[in-house]
Structure 1
Amino acid sequence: MYPLNLPPLQILHLSSQLLWAGLILLLVGLVAAYGLEKQLNVPTLVLAHSLTLLGPSILKIGYVLRLVAQQRLKDKAYVHAVA
């Protein structure tokens, strides 16, 4: 049912790392693509623009993993409350 066979706290830690990585990639991409566009050559500029696409994608994956971890923690607490 869940995409990972990891404990919920490890998934939560992984999601936090992905959220930070996505945010950093997005910010670096924005600064490089739109702030330094005059100084960069074409391949570097293409890489910077691709970071502005990869950053939000990684942010979304991290957010979904966080939701999965929170749901697993809630389900685990519910099972302990019922038992």
Structure 2
Amino acid sequence: MYPLNLPPAHILHLSSQLLWSGLSLLLLGLLAAYGLERYLNVPTLVLAHSLTLIGPSLLKIGYVLRLIAQERLKKRVGVHAIA
């Protein structure tokens, strides 16, 4: 498990990386699994379909990390709302 005792700026950076990589894996998986399915062999097709599961999982983890970082920034700064 990744230690969450990092500064909020580092957690925000990590969450951004997870969000972008999750989105790219999801789009790559959708393109390969449903757009190029007739050109792929079975193991590659299975990998492409698994990317459509891994991508949204990374998106969810990145989103939760972003919420954690924003909450910690709010506590650190003392502001009650982040615009």
TM-score for the superposition, normalised by structure 2 = 0.90
CA RMSD of aligned residues (A): 1.2
1:51-80: CA deviation from partner (whole Å, max 9, x where unpaired): 00000000000000000000000010129x
State the aligned residue count: 77
TM-score for the superposition, normalised by structure 1 = 0.90
* Structure possessing the higher radius of gyration over alpha carbons: 1
Partners in 1 of 2:28 and 2:38 — Cα distance? 16
Letter in 1 for 2:74: K
1:68-79 matches, within 5 Å, as 68-78=68-78
Runs of 4+ in structure 1 displaced over 4 angstroms?
none
Partners in 2 of 1:14 and 1:78 — Cα distance? 23
Aligned to 1:5, what secondary structure does the other structure show? coil
Letter in 1 for 2:17: Q
